[in-house]
Homo-oligomer: A and B are copies of this chain.
Amino acid sequence: MSACSEYYPTEPSSPVVTTASVPGPQSVQGLETLGQVFDARPAYFLADYEKSLGNYIVDADGNAFLDVYAQIASIALGYNNPKLIEAAKSPEMIRALVDRPALGNFPSKDLAPILQKILDFAPKGQDKVWSGLSGADANELAFKAAFMYYRAKQRGYNAAFSAEENTTVMQNAQPGSPQLAVLSFKKAFHGRLFASGSSTCSKPIHKLDFPAFEWPHAEYPYYAFPLAENEAANRAEDDRCLKIVEDLITSWPTPVAALIVEPIQSEGGDNHASTYFLQKLRDLTLKHGVVYIIDEVQTGVGATGKAWCHEWADIQPPVDLVTFSKKFQSAGYFFHDPLFVPNQPYRQFNTWCGEPARMIIAGAIAQEVTDKNLIQQVSRVGDYLFGKLEQLQSQNPDKFQRLRGQHRGTFIAWDLPSSAQRDALLKSLKQKGCNVGGCAEKSVRLRPTLTFEEKHADILLEALTQAVAELEN
């Protein structure tokens, strides 16, 4: 029996949309009420999570959508998963919710086994973890670890801070508050707080009006697809971008302490990076003493056919820090070099030091992904889906372009000729019962759960074939 049938014996067999438009009247009314206490303008519809199940999200009007967006790539196993419900009802969870500890000062007896389950799922080469609350938080905690590491290398790990450092830091001035940079990439998305926001470079609307650190953005390779037919051109593109990276590291007015990169830029348009590119970044970061951070917030936890997407590149030696959130529900960074643990306590610290309730959920997700061989399944279903999409692309070359994600599980995307057509396609798909998301200006991104199967792919493909046919040029 498949994992999905086992988890969700009563999952709908197909989408049902009964309202003339989406959002339907109940959603519209409910969102109006919600709008009085919350910014409901970005809401697509009001969801009924009690009725949602498996790969189907149900809205307030009773419409059931096949969910290929899954809360911006954040639902790992499907809605109302029985194993997660079990975890949610466990005594450990009740305590995590009602007796939330300041984990650094008064850790609970069960913290070590809870963290161990998360560590058992760590990327190859990583065996330590520090916990946070969201993707943005995870990246900023990783930046803090990187800055401390970078300065410790200069000062000596156990060297004392100078009197000047201790004085100037209280004035936000160097050398106590050093001017150090994180290098990221154009079209990158690493979150929307102030440091993560300075490394984010996907859309102006994410950043306008906020002060930012003067940090550099290199160019991320923009490949011709299909990859197999464009190897030479794409290698040249890699080399062009790598040169920009090295030039920025050596010429930026402030030292570049860390580099952060997504193995596939997700929010920025599902731009892929080759194994060659990711490995060369390792070589460059080692050459120039730069901390190498991989952001797996959206790409992590199985969706690409590996537990962590950058494992496809088998980067050697392993990268320094790997950040996670979204599908793992818990957030934080993995690492392996003990020198990334600061020389004193209370340097990487805050009241909560993570969210124990979400750590328990993460442990349960990791266990299920392993027990049910879901990564293998994602690879199989992804290859099936990709093959069908290739056909659709070849039949509609004017409306379906740059299909990407071959052999990257269900982490698949393509472009439409324009933003308006992409938006029209997503709207049409919603009306046909498929909830699908976009990214960048004109891309469609598929982000189903890990329990998405061929039968779900077929439903999506049928709706998509119709929607593409109906799409006006």
A contact set with B: CB distance below 8 Å: 30-31, 33-34, 36-50, 52, 57, 60, 71-72, 74-75, 79-81, 84-85, 87-89, 91, 93-95, 97-109, 111-112, 115-116, 119, 128-130, 133-137, 140, 143-144, 147-148, 150-152, 161, 165-166, 169-173, 176-181, 186, 191-195, 198, 201, 204-215, 217, 325-326, 329, 341, 344-352, 355, 357, 361
Contacts and interface: CB of A to CB of B under 8 A. Distances in A.
Given A57-B106, A143-B194, A211 B179 contact: yes
A212 B84 contact: no
B134 A49 contact: no
A194 to B, nearest CB: 4
Given A46-B109, A176-B204, A74 B94 contact: no
A255 to B, nearest CB: 10
A214 B211 CA distance: 11
A161 B208 contact: yes
B81 A98 contact: yes
Nearest to A44: B105
Nearest to A326: B351
Contact of A191 (B57, B170, B326, B350): B350
Contacts of A72: 102, 105, 351
Contacts of A177: 207, 210-212
Contacts of A129: 37-38
Contacts of A36: 112
13 contacts: A30-B112, A44-B106, A46-B108, A46-B109, A50-B109, A71-B105, A80-B98, A151-B209, A161-B204, A173-B214, A180-B211, A205-B346, A357-B357
A89 to B, nearest CB: 7
A133 B143 contact: no
Nearest to A344: B205
Given A43-B105, A152-B209, 16 more contacts: A30-B109, A34-B111, A34-B115, A38-B103, A75-B100, A84-B98, A134-B351, A147-B211, A170-B207, A172-B198, A176-B207, A177-B210, A195-B195, A205-B344, A205-B346, A211-B213
Contacts of A205: 344, 346-347
Contact of A133 (B134, B151, B180, B326): B134
Contacts of A173: 214
Given A98-B85, A112-B34, A208 B176 contact: yes
A463 B108 CA distance: 26
A157 to B, nearest CB: 12
Contacts of A346: 42, 205-206
Given A72-B105, A135-B351, A210 B144 contact: yes
Given A177-B207, A194-B140, A107 B171 contact: no
A435 to B, nearest CB: 8
Contacts of A170: 186, 201, 204, 207, 217
Contacts of A136: 350
Contact of A172 (B100, B176, B215, B345): B215
Contact of A102 (B74, B93, B101): B74
Given A193-B193, A349-B192, A71 B102 contact: yes
Most buried by B among A38, A47, A89: A38
A111 B43 CA distance: 12
A176 B204 CA distance: 8
Nearest to A116: B37
Contacts of A178: 209-211
Contacts of A180: 211
Contacts of A57: 106
A114 to B, nearest CB: 9
A78 to B, nearest CB: 9
Contacts of A87: 97-98
A445 B40 CA distance: 41
Most buried by B among A109, A137, A166, A325: A109
Contacts of A103: 38
Contacts of A88: 93-94, 97-98
A94 B89 contact: yes
Contact of A42 (B40, B104, B181, B204): B104
A176 B75 CA distance: 34
Nearest to A151: B209
B193 A137 contact: yes
